[in-house]
Amino acid sequence: MRRTLASLALAACIIPLSIAAQPATTITIQPGGTVDIRVPNIIVPQAPRGRAITIRPNPQAVEIATVEAAIDLRESVATTTLRITVKNPASTQQEAEMLVPVPHGAAIRSFGFDGPGQEPTAKLLPRDEARRIYEEIVRRSLDPALLEFVNCSFVRSSVFPVPANGESTITLTYENVLSADAATSGGGSRIDLVLPRSGSLEASGTKWTIKGRAVSERVIGTVYSPSHPLNTTRVSDKEHTFEVPAAAGGNPGAFRISILLGAGSNDQLPASVLLYPDMDTGAAAGSGYFMLLGGVPGLPVEAQKRTPRREVTLVIDRSGSMRGEKWEQARGAAVAVIEGLNNGEAFSIIDYSDTVQRFGSGPVIKDASTLADARAYLNGLRAEGGTNIHEALQQALKQPVTPGFLPLVVFLTDGMPTVGITDEARIRDDSAAANTANRRVFTFGVGYDLNAPLLDRLAEATRAAAINVLPGENIENSVSRVFRRLAGPVMNEPVLAGRHTADPGPRMPAVHDVLPARLPDLFEGDQLVVLGRYTTTPDGARLRLEGEYLGQRKTFEFSIDPARATTANAFVPRLWASRKIAFLLDEVRQAGVSGDVRTDPRTKELIDAVVKLSMRWGILTEYTSFLAEDPSGTPVAATTHEERLGLAMDLAGGRAMERTGTGAVNQSVNLKAGQMQACANADNTYWNANMQQVRVLSVMQVADQTLFCRGGKWIDSNLVDKPEMEKPDKTIEFGSAEHFALACRLAETDSGAGRQALLAQRGDVYLLVDGQRVLVRGATEN
């Protein structure tokens, strides 16, 4: 039976679904403030482990089967609906209550129940009452998971039945008003939403789906999540839909989303700056990390007329290794690209094996006639012979550019250079010298038998992208997917710089370590995420983004106000560190073209920085995975910085010489993901040399802190593997008043750190808090 109540008086907070008396099995606040817990299953859908929290051992506790989250954002009002299905694995009916963490200020709109038996009620708990309840649950269940939600409000249901070997479903809709950050360019604003969820790496088995839509009276620049990958669709300029891919629905951590709203003018680029103060040097120093988040909205017809036309050169490998299905897909990709051009844009075709030939003498203007000729030319080609990559690139890059057009190259190969000049460094240098027209070279490497570092560098050096088409993937789909994104070039050759608002005295750059160092061109619908570091005076600084915007030189300015920096933006430095690590490692890999780099002093300098960043921010790669304890509990192989540096030098330096095969392609995939990382990788997932995915579960990224697991104990990165700091200054027992006070202290710092999840781990936790070494004892059975 389904029961629903909607259109409630929000101020009442209590939803009277039934006037029946409550059963004895429940959670009640007794006179004097003590908490009586008798319910056998306490369900917190956002908590880890995928099953009810129980006060007494229950091997058949109610399980959380699915959570479906639907978010509707209309300007600054967010309506979130959670549909939570629980299942009972036992052969007898069980009873449960539900505690749902929600943001402060949330109000219940509706509550529904789909299941047998008595109808439950729902209540939005006052903060003090919620705190007393979850403290008692933590104390009696010996489970610290709820401490992660110490800064949340809670919606609590009354007891409801879950039938034997059956399911019950709760549907909760709540609404909250979000604050708008007006510190964006051109009078726009940024709206941020957080859906509380656990950051635990423990597998839960609960299937999560998260999707929604954003609707505004103003143009929506972009929809962005720093916590999860998003698939977004622009329904119109003022409505976007978004969805977390199914494979990422269970990724740990709160779901965060930001909506950039424009001011209504197409001469403005909706953008916002998010700041994090450098806690290692002190926020008062005026230094920290920044994220420039921007979005290119849909353009009206008049603005589209001002975008430059494209000239696309297709460079296609037709060597013998491309025979069969690969060649058919490559030929289909070429036709799809040409068909995707607008009439009046230009294209050329260069195909190569032992020799290089082309369609016509140079670029031609697309129309019905040239399209038909191109189809006929491609249909007449056959795959055979070797691979003359050098000459094919030379012909593509040296040809004259159609005046006034944006020149793009789509370069496709499945092999190593085998004919003509085959030296990687020579091909790279000659291509750079030939590219006087600044063509963007988008490379597509098919399979594993190719020079992955060469293709990556050709693309990176020209503001383009390198795409790996792995075995089993469709070439035509891969090329078409990328090319669709290259419609409507809006801003060409963008450059980001910083300047101080006031004279800082000694020469001091306002921004540095900006990543990516060379910004890509911006196309209609693109999202721009730039990360870097700033150093400024209390008067602040300005970011200047310059480039050719809709056919004219234009400058956009954005403010860096150090007073707006907050540790609530902890994702900013961690994302920056991910990109920096990938950049440093790619420098080592590119140097591998000359041979063994393990004795090179510059390699040592680069790897030294990688190891330090990895330890500080908990970002592990295939070259530094030894920093984490393996699942068997085997002690880590290196416990001093010099030992770590030596191991990382051997791993990264040795792997740098791999230019082809799965061992080269996996590095290419990992490093490109790191260099452009825009959302969290909480479990440090990477591809190993056999192209198998690896997750690291013994390192926790919590807000702006990192925990390493050592022998069952979670240790702050500031204390880990430091014998001189093994003795704590203070010891706190699990479930004590001090334990809960520390959770509140970590959650409610002035800078909004949100570090309380440090205490939500099983086992002992050893932390550095306000300069003191604090050991928090894990729960123990009586």
Contact 141, 53 (CB under 8 A): yes
Nearest to 340 by CA among 496, 485, 225, 222: 485
pLDDT band per the 50, 70, 90 thresholds, residue 118? confident
pLDDT at site 508: 67
Average pLDDT value for residue range 618-630: 92
pLDDT at site 743: 93
Backbone region of residue 31 per phi and psi (left: phi > 0; alpha: psi in -120 to 50; beta: other values): beta
As a three-state string, the secondary structure of 353-378 is CCCEEEEEEEEEECCHHHHHHHHHHH
pLDDT band per the 50, 70, 90 thresholds, residue 29? low
User: Which residues, including other chains, have CB under 8 Å from residue 29's CB and lie 6 or more apart?
Assistant: 35, 36, 129, 132, 133
Take residue 385 and report the two structure tokens written for it.
């012979």
Quick one: how many helices (H) and strands (E) in the chain?
13, 42
Residue 501: other Cβ atoms inside 10 A: 16
pLDDT at site 539: 79
pLDDT at 7 over 50: no
HSE at residue 620, side-chain half, CA atoms within 13 A, is 28
The model's pTM is: 0.93
Q: How far is CA 493 from CA 186, 313, 443, in A?
A: 21, 19, 19
Phi, psi of 168 (to 5 degrees): -135, 150
Contact 271, 221 (CB under 8 A): yes
pLDDT at 175 over 80: yes
pLDDT at site 264: 62
Q: Give SS3 for 99.
A: strand
pLDDT at site 621: 96
**What DSSP state is assigned to residue 330?**
H
Lowest mean pLDDT among 28-32, 423-427, 541-545: 28-32
Q: Give SS3 for 89.
A: coil
Residue 312: other Cβ atoms inside 10 A: 27
pLDDT at 231 over 90: yes
Lowest mean pLDDT among 205-219, 647-661, 751-765: 751-765
Q: Give SS3 for 173.
A: strand
Average pLDDT over the chain, rounded to an integer: 89
Residue whose pair of structure tokens reads 């891919």 in the numeric block: 245
Of the chain, the percentage scoring pLDDT greater than 90 comes to 69
Residue whose pair of structure tokens reads 């609960």 in the numeric block: 206
Nearest to 374 by CA among 383, 382, 365: 365
Instruction: Write the pLDDT tens digit of every residue in 300-356.
Output: 677 777 788 999 999 999 999 999 999 999 999 999 999 999 999 999 999 999 999
**What DSSP state is assigned to residue 184?**
B
Average pLDDT value for residue range 440-447: 96
Backbone region of residue 317 per phi and psi (left: phi > 0; alpha: psi in -120 to 50; beta: other values): beta
pLDDT at 294 over 50: yes
Of the chain, the percentage scoring pLDDT greater than 70 comes to 91
Phi, psi of 378 (to 5 degrees): -65, -40
List beta partners, residue 51: 63
Q: How far apart are CA 315 and CA 441, in angstroms?
A: 10
Backbone region of residue 26 per phi and psi (left: phi > 0; alpha: psi in -120 to 50; beta: other values): beta
Q: How far apart are CA 651 and CA 68, in angstroms?
A: 42
Nearest to 668 by CA among 413, 484, 469: 469
pLDDT at 58 over 90: no
Take residue 561 and report the two structure tokens written for it.
């106000």
Average pLDDT value for residue range 363-374: 97
pLDDT band per the 50, 70, 90 thresholds, residue 35? low
pLDDT at site 297: 81
pLDDT at 751 over 60: no
Residue 14: other Cβ atoms inside 10 A: 12
Tell me how long the chain is. Answer: 782
Average pLDDT value for residue range 225-242: 95
- Between strands 63-74 and 207-215, the pairing is parallel
Average pLDDT value for residue range 32-49: 78
**What burial class does residue 80 get, using C-beta atoms within 10 Å of its C-beta: 0-12 exposed, 13-18 middle, 19+ buried?**
buried
Instruction: Write the pLDDT tens digit of every residue in 581-595.
Output: 999 999 999 999 888
